[in-house]
Structure 1
Amino acid sequence: MNRTPANAFLDIRSVAKAFGGNQVLEDVSVQIAPGEIVGLLGPNGSGKSTLLNVITGFTPADAGSVHFDGRRIDRVAAHRIVRTGMARTFQLPSMPAKMSVMEVAMAAATAHHGVFDTLVGTARARATERAARDKAAHLLQELLLTPVRDLPAAAISGGQKKLLGIVCALMAEPRMLLLDEPTAGVHPNLRRDIVAALQRLNAQGMTLVIVEHDMHFIRDVCTRCVVLDRGSIVASCRPDELASNDRVLQAYLGTAGAKPLATEGA
């Protein structure tokens, strides 16, 4: 059974995207309500990352529209979309070799608020820097990165880089956070920390959209799943309905009747 919220916070309508002759997204419509945690699922090549890129301004759509909190954003540059209250993480975060973990978090604050206060040596600049440093320190503690805060960001583990990516996104103080495979390659202990952190954020009012392969994570965290197959939406349902949804089974196996979702994910 498909479900879409009536009071959409993120409203995606009839989005299409092709690369050359490859139609990656076709007539994709999704609505997400405030406070939801939505898992964006689908087999490899189904268009999940492209849809994430369209939503966040990194890839222009060929057709359709994206509205966030009542404002059309599909024609807005990525850095301006962040300022509307939407932020994202990346599947493989790249970290600078010559900046510490704390410095990377601080740089994320500068990217959101602008460089003027950073460059001008005023009391306002110093106050802004102190506030950003305090916020970065708090988020690094929340995501258990305080022990590595002074290490080069490029030298920490892959899982810690995922956590730092979340910290950087949160420095922008978003109301909606989109995450691209936040637990891929992450140690099980860190995975539990990410689950707990996302649940805390949602309890505080954050709306979350998560591309993820780990179905245990999806069941633990998400309130609804949207499934893509070959660029089209084939299901919108609760996580516990995935294994009995014929269209989802067809997307993953090419046939209905089996139950692959206990071991496989998006």
Structure 2
Amino acid sequence: MTHVSSPALLEVSSLAKAFGGNRVLQDVHLAIGRGEIVGLLGPNGSGKSTLLNTITGFEAIDAGSVRYAGQEIGRLAAHRIVGQGVARTFQLPSMPQKMSVIEVAMAAASAHHGFWETLLRGRAARRAEQAARDKATRLLDEFLLTHVRDLPASALSGGQKKLLGIVCALMGDPQLLMLDEPTAGVHPNLRNDIVQALLRLNRQGMTLVIVEHDMHFIREVCSRCIVLDRGHIVASCAPQELSSNERVLQAYLGGGTSQQDQATEVTP
């Protein structure tokens, strides 16, 4: 198992996942320390998104163990994992057509905390709704979305949707946030906003695991990288060590794209 310098918040042991005869993850072991920012890397098809999906309950694991804060969560439903303190974002966030930005954020509070509050009546219901509105307002301001709070969420740019996805994840007060390509296809100005937001969250004590292909982003944000290849972890190292790691280079140079393109992804 990967060694970390701080107590492990997330521990994955002997994790396996297959779709039919396709073994996507095989005997995966990793540990994430509290307060780390870890980049999850690998060529296309290496199993990165599937690993995120199995850890967060969106795909059932076939074998192995996932422990969060010392508790086994590997076979819990996704909403129960969120309730334990693990949240995630998606590579291509889908937004409702008829809900405003602030309504989407407020709806995320119900999704994270359950539906009982939405069934309450009278003063308690009004208090719960106001608390969710206040929290959503604060997060939208923090993530530079106040000026679009009343627009349809579906009308946002790709980068703004990714920021809103982070806001929705944070409505549940997670300790561990897992992000799937948070800067892919994002305008450079918004990319910098996302970078600064993630660094700020980490300074506030949040642990981050980030699937990303942008090596400049990885070097800018991550303290450690875990590299997957064909469902196996082949490296755990600092970003500046990637270009000299033979197993990492073999993983990228052995892929289906050109060697020049693949080498660029791991060159500092």
Question: Equivalents in 2 of 1:213, 1:259: separation in Å?
Answer: 12
Residue in 1 aligned with 2:74? 74
Report the secondary structure of 2:111's partner residue: helix
Question: Equivalents in 2 of 1:3, 1:239: separation in Å?
Answer: 16
Residue in 1 aligned with 2:31? 31
Which letter maps to 1:20? G
Residue in 2 aligned with 1:213? 213
Aligned residue pair count: 263
Residue in 2 aligned with 1:83? 83
Question: Equivalents in 1 of 2:231, 2:52: separation in Å?
Answer: 12
Residue in 2 aligned with 1:124? 124
Residue in 1 aligned with 2:102? 102
TM-score (norm 1): 0.95
**Larger displacement relative to structure 2 (91-100 or 126-135):** 126-135
| 2:167 is aligned with 1:163 | no
Report the secondary structure of 1:249's partner residue: helix
Residue in 2 aligned with 1:240? 240
Residue in 2 aligned with 1:174? 174
**How big is the shift at 1:8?**
1.2
Question: Equivalents in 2 of 1:90, 1:83: separation in Å?
Answer: 18
| 2:164 is aligned with 1:133 | no
Report the secondary structure of 2:192's partner residue: helix
Residue in 2 aligned with 1:9? 9
Question: Equivalents in 2 of 1:146, 1:190: separation in Å?
Answer: 14
Q: Where do 5+ consecutive residues of structure 2 fail to align?
A: none
1:34-85 per-residue CA deviation (whole Å, 9 max, x = no partner) reads 0000000000000000000000001111111000001100110000000000
Moved over 6 A (4+): none
**How big is the shift at 1:262?**
4.4
Question: Equivalents in 2 of 1:229, 1:18: separation in Å?
Answer: 15
Report the secondary structure of 1:9's partner residue: strand
8 A contact 1:35–1:202 mirrored in 2: yes
Residue in 2 aligned with 1:111? 111
1:65-117 per-residue CA deviation (whole Å, 9 max, x = no partner) reads 00000110011000000000010000111100000000000000011122222
